[in-house]
């Protein structure tokens, strides 16, 4: 089974990329196949809401998003991490989310995939729950199965994340909940 981790931060080697790496390491140890998308490495144009993808089954914009759509489509579970910018996701992640409309319009290609969210802010109550709500909204619109961390909405971290023991526990709990959920849907395939 494939687990895809997405860092929605424009910062290379920042907290979101570290969180995704830590998260995916849990799955690697459990013998899952893991892939990652770090938006800091890609240039993605915003959606123009032109409707071309509804008629032609592809986006007319030929940017790096064309490389990323198949990774989403082939994943069994998708975990998204975002910094908290003014109580929501980063602009880069919002552009990425908007461009996935192609997958929805062409048969709900993310439907029934397991989804989880991580948000990172500078304070314990820095808007992370609203950021997670933004991520969950994107997942619900695609028909995904949204999973929390057993207590709340997902992984909630404050910077610097390596010192946030409570937040790191929420990320670990989210990973374990996703494993449990995958087992319920695909018992013979899960280690």
Q: What is the DSSP string of 58-112?
A: S-S--STHHHHHHHHHH-SEEEEEEE-BTTB--HHHHHHHHHTHHHHHTT-TTTT
Residue 57 pLDDT: 80
Asked if 7 and 13 touch (Cβ cutoff 8 Å), the reply is no
**What is the count of structural domains for the chain?**
1
Neighbours of 49 (CB within 10 A): 9
Task: Kindly report the length of the chain.
Answer: 191
**Structural domain containing residue 86:** 2-189
Residue 191 pLDDT: 54
Residue 99 pLDDT: 97
The values of phi and psi at residue 81, to 5°, are -120, 135
Residue 75 pLDDT: 97
Q: What is the pLDDT along the chain (191 residues), one digit of tens a residue?
A: 899 999 999 999 999 999 999 999 999 999 999 999 999 999 999 999 998 988 888 898 989 999 999 999 999 999 999 999 999 999 999 999 999 999 999 999 999 999 999 999 998 888 999 999 999 999 999 999 999 998 789 999 999 999 999 999 999 999 999 999 998 886 555 55
What is the reported pTM?
A: 0.94
Q: Residue 116 is part of a domain; what is its CATH number?
A: 3.40.50.360
**Buried-exposed string 70-81: b where 16+ CB fall within 10 A, e elsewhere:** eebeebbbbbbb
Q: Which residue has the tokens 């969210």?
A: 117
Nearest partner of 153 among 68, 84, 98, judged by Cα: 84
Asked if 144 and 111 touch (Cβ cutoff 8 Å), the reply is yes
The rounded distance, in Å, linking the Cα atoms of 115 and 124 is 23
Q: Which residue has the tokens 């929805």?
A: 104
Nearest partner of 189 among 78, 31, 71, judged by Cα: 31
């Amino acid at each position: 089974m494939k687990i895809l981790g997405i860092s929605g931060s424009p910062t290379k080697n920042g907290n979101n990329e570290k969180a995704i790496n830590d998260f995916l390491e849990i799955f690697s140890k459990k013998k899952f196949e893991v892939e990652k998308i770090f938006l800091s490495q890609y240039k993605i144009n915003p959606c123009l809401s032109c409707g071309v993808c509804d008629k032609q089954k592809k986006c007319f914009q030929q940017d790096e998003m064309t490389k990323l759509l198949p990774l989403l489509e082939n994943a069994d579970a998708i975990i998204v991490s975002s910094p908290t910018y003014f109580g929501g996701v980063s602009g880069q992640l919002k552009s990425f989310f908007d461009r996935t409309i192609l997958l929805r319009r062409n048969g709900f290609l993310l439907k029934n995939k397991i989804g989880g969210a991580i948000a990172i802010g500078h304070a314990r109550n820095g808007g992370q729950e609203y950021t997670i709500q933004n991520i969950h909204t994107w997942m619900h619109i695609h028909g995904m199965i949204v999973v929390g961390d057993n207590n709340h909405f997902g992984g909630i971290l404050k910077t610097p994340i390596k010192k946030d023991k409570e937040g790191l526990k929420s990320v670990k709990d989210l990973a374990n909940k996703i494993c449990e959920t995958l087992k319920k849907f695909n018992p013979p395939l899960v280690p």
